[in-house]
Amino acid sequence: MRTRRFIATMAAGFLGAAVLLVVASVLGFVGGGQTTTGAVSGAYAAFKSSGLTPQQIYEKHAGSVVEIQTTFPGTYDIFGQQTGGGQALGTGFVVSKDGYILTNAHVVSESGQAVSTVTVIFKGDGAQGLQVEGTVLGADESTDVALIKVDPSQTPELVPIPLGDSSKVTVGEAVVAIGNPLGLDFSLSSGVVSATDRELQSPNGATISGGIQTDAAINPGNSGGPLIDANGRVIGINEQIDSQSGGNEGIGFAVPINTAVQVMEQIKAGTLPPAQPADPYGDGSQISPY
């Protein structure tokens, strides 16, 4: 089983499926131990003056954040031996009572190849780690947005997280991220918006405009999770970090929620254009996001 790595050291990299479940299991990160909820110090004052505290946001919305486990198909060599593939971990969040869940495209696809299976794990009050099968309705690698559907009759009561307006995000406002960094489920980190209107590189090399930069701690496994403002509204989907070490260095990026909503509606309507690899140099060459 090969290691799935979506963080490129010395450059922005993708976070979603970077944690191999088998590795996380060995380290005790997945399926055992205590749930971790740790807010980064220093950001509380910003919340205190502008709205909900990190604790209030967590208590209100953590149950709407889900863990996403995916299995990627392998290929077969000339000897009939399977190569590649593997299992990986990401995050998503509920956006409707009828079972729609937003996440990153790179959590459920790689280079246009969809995952074999998607398992959505609910860990809110009364969920007790309930696992249900999810269906990938669509994944747009140009914006790194994907939409998953689960059957509400098989899940706990679905409580969507309210969506904000990413066009109104301002530098300095307080935010929190909830997700599964390194397999540590239900983790909370807090910080501020460090910058807006960043240009992010998508998995297929396209440019995602309006990216949100934050210093809230984001690590492998956070990918696809919500970046939430002090009013308790999602303003972005945590997607990648800029790191020299491969871990959090306080420079994280999120896809703006306005872009994600637009893609989600296109997926629902079946009008999402086919993904096309970007040609940033205009010479037919392509660049790998990994």
Catalytic positions, please? 106, 144, 223
Return the SS3 of 200.
Answer: strand
Here the tokens at position 192 are 């501020």
Return the SS3 of 277.
Answer: coil
| Spatial contact of 193 and 173, defined as CB atoms under 8 Å apart | yes
207 forms beta bridges with: 201
Q: Give the largest CA-CA distance in the chain.
A: 64
| Spatial contact of 187 and 180, defined as CB atoms under 8 Å apart | yes
Which residue type is seen at 67?
Answer: E
Kindly provide the b/e burial profile for residues 162-194, where b requires at least 16 CB atoms within 10 angstroms of the residue's own CB.
ebbebeebeeebbbbbbbbbbbbbbbbbbbbbb
3-class SS letters over 22-36: HHHHHHCCCCCCCCC
What would you report as the CA-atom Rg of the chain, rounded to the nearest whole angstrom?
Answer: 18
DSSP character at residue 60: H
Q: How many residues make up the chain in this entry?
A: 290
Triad 60, 159, 138: Cα angle to 5°: 125
d(CA 252, CA 184): 18
Here the tokens at position 288 are 């790998």
